Amino acid sequence: MQWLIVIVLIMGVYYFFIRKSPRKETPKKQEEIMIECEKCGIYVSNKEAIIQDGKYYCSKECCKGK
Ligand SMILES: [Zn+2]
């Protein structure tokens, strides 16, 4: 009956890894969009852009500086 224990063990490990591995597909929402900086006009991705008062800036310098 040892083989049964081995199979159960393998199944357990298999299950463990399947549950652990993130199977989330990257959602389409996270597509990068290029946004123009309000201050200097440089295009930055929406991930990097800084949003201040509903406006987009490429960096903190642009965000603060006047
Ligand atoms: Zn800028």
pLDDT value, residue 17: 84
Residue 50 Cα to ligand 1 midpoint, Å, equals 9
Domain-located, residue 27: no
**CATH number for the domain that contains residue 44:** 3.30.60
The Cα angle at residue 12 between residues 10 and 14, in degrees rounded to 5: 65
> Residue 29 carries which DSSP code?
G
pLDDT at 16: 85
Per-residue pLDDT, averaged over 40-65, amounts to: 91
C-alpha to C-alpha distance for 40 and 26, rounded to whole angstroms:
32
User: pLDDT tens digit string along 12-44?
Assistant: 998 888 877 666 666 666 678 899 999 999 999
Enter the pTM of the model.
0.50
For the segment 47-56, the average pLDDT, to the nearest whole number, is 91
The total number of structural domains that make up the chain: 1
CA–centroid distance, 37 to ligand 1, in Å, is 5
Residue 21 lies in a domain: no
How confident is the prediction for the chain on average, in pLDDT?
85
